Amino acid sequence: MSDAAPPTISISEVERTVARELERIAPVIDELGSRFQAAGHELALVGGPVRDAMLGRLQTDLDFTTSARPEETERLLRRWADAVWDVGRAFGTIGCRKGDWQVEVTTYRSEAYDASSRKPDVDFGDSLAGDLGRRDFTVNAMALSLPGRGFEDPYGGVVDLAAGVLRTPGTPEDSFSDDPLRMMRAARFAAQLGFTVAPEVVAAMTAMADRIAIISAERVRDELVKLVCAPFPRRGLTLLVETGLAGHVLPELPALALERDEHHRHKDVYEHTLTVLEQSIDLEHRLAAEGEPARPDFVSRFAALMHDVGKPRTRRFVDDGTVTFHHHDVVGAKLTRKRMAALRFSGDDIDAVSKLVELHLRFHGYGSGEWTDSAVRRYVRDAGDQLERLHILTRADCTTRNRRKAERLRRTYDDLEARIGRLSEEEELASMRPDLDGNQIMEILGIPPGRDVGAAYAHLLELRLDDGPMSFEAARDALLAWWSARPDRP
């Protein structure tokens, strides 16, 4: 995957693109604009939808800003929409659905953080110009007044959009003081749009990076997820590292720049990690259903980003001058779990990413492909429902410039996947379980439910992994032999 920025566009191209998009969304914006105008209120399409219309990025989510207060907005929407809900009345936002369109309407507002608060103070404004002035970047500070479709661009957003540059409407210091999360959003938009961040914005992010500490973990997490799942994540992650923001929100990432990869000593582990991330993105099509397009997969991307974070803690220098990172997979899984918990990720996401980090070296533990059937079964069992993502991470983790070595690793992993496929057809590996269930174990041994049943089940599962499926009779005989040999049996 290339992380090159998209080409810049001309103003005339922007105008043509907007004209096409306005015709597509006209049924919504014109009717809604007329309703608010008839009620004596201003309404404007604003922010991301205006920006995306100029970029030719089709959306069904539309954001509006209005002079109406939330109660009046809700009243007007209920007469028009199929469903209405309260997104955040205290922040002035009411949401609704009209057919396939998702709409949010927010009262003109201004907001700012004080030095210690995690939540912004919100004051409703009284003008579109004032509302645009409080927005994060000039490319998001453009609006289309409705129903007349008058274009409002007081801060030169269309010029910055055409040039592919992120700037703030006012000074970046004032913007980031109002909401420090905007520093994360700068990195996220660089990753989403492929834009360059203006030097003065980068300078302010660097000087004010520690202000991100007042933002809640949940809001930081949400921006990080959007960044990682964007088309150009390297651009955003690099910006976080270079400005020092990563040191506050994902310190494991910049720490990698201090390390060396044990297999490719000419490579910085930080750069290796970003390459693994990009290569994992190129393999996301493996997760899509047949006939469906590939979609960003946060779990596989974040596992790629975190797979080597255990290296700084495990680095050891050997007498011959080499560097080792023994057990960095296990240490990295623990660090990943701790970081994701601090960022308030769900338990399912934490378990999935941590498992992938812990297993990312498993393939390399079996030499050049001398896999027994038992080893293949255990590989599948340990990966569980993350097997396809483990395939992606293991393949992406090969960044050697030695073509012969890379081709050998690829063929070896091809062989492993083929082995998994054959055994899966023969043995139903995806639902691997012992050849006797708990009830059968209790009946054969004549014991009640309890620890002994669990121990017997675990023993039979180990036999299943080692030897494959057994007949009922063979499994029964193996169970009885194990039971009779137990020194602590009743």
Angle among Cα 152, 130, 146 to the nearest 5 degrees reads 40
The answer on 310 and 193 residing in a single domain is no
The residue count of the chain comes to: 490
Q: What tens digit of pLDDT does each residue of 269-279 get?
A: 999 999 999 99
Q: Does position 262 have pLDDT exceeding 50, yes or no? A: no
The answer on 257 and 244 residing in a single domain is no
* Residue at which a domain ends, from 205, 222, 248: 248
Average pLDDT value for residue range 409-437:
81
CA dihedral 163, 167, 170, 174 (to 10 degrees): 180
Instruction: Give me the CATH number covering residue 218.
Output: 1.10.110.30
Q: Identify the residue with better confidence: 405 or 245.
A: 245
Instruction: Name the pTM for this structure.
Output: 0.84
Q: Does position 54 have pLDDT exceeding 50, yes or no? A: yes
Q: What tens digit of pLDDT does each residue of 441-473 get?
A: 999 998 999 989 999 888 888 888 888 888 899
Q: Does position 489 have pLDDT exceeding 80, yes or no? A: no
The answer on 138 and 57 residing in a single domain is yes
The answer on 297 and 219 residing in a single domain is no
Instruction: Give me the CATH number covering residue 103.
Output: 3.30.460.10
The answer on 28 and 145 residing in a single domain is yes
* Residue at which a domain ends, from 248, 281, 316: 248
Q: What tens digit of pLDDT does each residue of 364-392 get?
A: 866 565 678 888 888 888 898 999 999 99
Look at residue 364 and tell me if it is in a domain.
Answer: yes
The answer on 442 and 383 residing in a single domain is no
Question: What type of residue is 106?
Answer: T
The answer on 292 and 338 residing in a single domain is yes
Residue 480 in tokens: 């009885």
The answer on 233 and 323 residing in a single domain is no
Which residue range is the domain that position 21 belongs to? Answer: 1-162
Q: How many domains are contained in the chain?
A: 4
The answer on 186 and 197 residing in a single domain is yes
* Residue at which a domain ends, from 212, 232, 248: 248
Q: So what's the pLDDT on residue 21?
A: 84
Look at residue 490 and tell me if it is in a domain.
Answer: no
Q: So what's the pLDDT on residue 433?
A: 81
> For residues 161 and 191, is the Cβ–Cβ distance under 8 A?
no
Using left for φ > 0, alpha for ψ between -120 and 50, and beta otherwise, residue 367 falls in left
Beta strand residue intervals within 126-219, DSSP E: 143-146, 150-152, 165-166, 196-197
The answer on 48 and 147 residing in a single domain is yes
Look at residue 236 and tell me if it is in a domain.
Answer: yes
